[in-house]
A = this chain, B = another copy of it.
Amino acid sequence: MSIFVLMKKRKPLILVTNDDGITAPGIVALIEVMKTLGDVVVVAPDKAQSGMGHAITINATLRINKVKIYGVMDEYSCSGTPVDCVKFAVNKIMTRKPDLCVSGINHGSNSSINVIYSGTMSAAVEGAIEGIPSIGFSLLDLSIDADFSASKKIVKTIALKVLKEGLPKGICLNVNIPKLKFDEIKGIKISRQAKANWIEELDERFDPQGKPYYWLTGKFENFDKGQKDTDVWALENNYVSVVPTQYDMTAHTAIKELSKWKL
């Protein structure tokens, strides 16, 4: 038998991470599904890292600790960001490049502009940068008691498809799942990132010394209301949204226009 055939028969090697931390219910659900699909390595933050975007730790040192929580092939908690976790896993822990990198299941939406602030999605984007088929999963439910049973079926369907088909070069998937029972979900829609932003409010409070401090908060504003090709529309209409997401941030369409500038 050729090496190629032997390789094809090899069990998939799957890297699991998240941004809610290694003990979050969402990663428990994700690991449960991935255990049915292949050999699982978990490298996840030792604490919540929501909103960390594509941050990496370069001004401080990193710690990594072997743990034994989930009974998978290998599992570590890491003091860094979700992107650090992927870099650690690929460059220090795993003996070969994983066949799949999955991040999540995030507690809360990463649709629309949230993708850019999301640690969950940044881990998936980093997976894509490393040349690994990668997916970020999010459930639109912030509760610690969120029901991940429908999500687990969706996760399995999409992960199997990606393991079989791969993904175009330079692209990962941003999967968002509405807070519904499995039978209530209408289907899976390939979508684009809705144009939207956050109208920030800085919630001012005062410490015991009377000095102000702030919590960053805000209201979500969708500029693409009613646009049926967006992720926000899909979710509002009981579909799972799947946005192909890239790390090439060049606005290619603007190059021609700006090239006319005399600088």
Contact = CB atoms under 8 A, between A and B. Distances in A.
A244 B255 contact: yes
A91 B84 CA distance: 31
Interface in A115-161: 115-117, 122, 125, 129-130, 157-158, 161
Nearest to A258: B190
Interface in A205-263: 205, 211-216, 242-252, 254-255, 257-259, 261, 263
A35 interface: no
Contacts of A6: none
Nearest to A217: B58
A158 B261 CA distance: 10
Interface stretch (A8-16, A59-67, A99-107): A59-67
A213 B63 contact: yes
The contact size tier of chain A is 35 or more
B263 A188 contact: yes
Interface in A179-194: 187-188, 190-193
A61 B250 contact: no
A49 B60 CA distance: 11
B190 A92 contact: no
Contacts of A257: 168
A51 B61 contact: no
Contact of A58 (B51, B87, B122, B197): B51
Interface of A: 48-59, 61-64, 80-81, 83-84, 87-88, 90-92, 113, 115-117, 122, 125, 129-130, 157-158, 161, 165, 168, 170-171, 187-188, 190-193, 195, 197, 199-202, 205, 211-216, 242-252, 254-255, 257-259, 261, 263
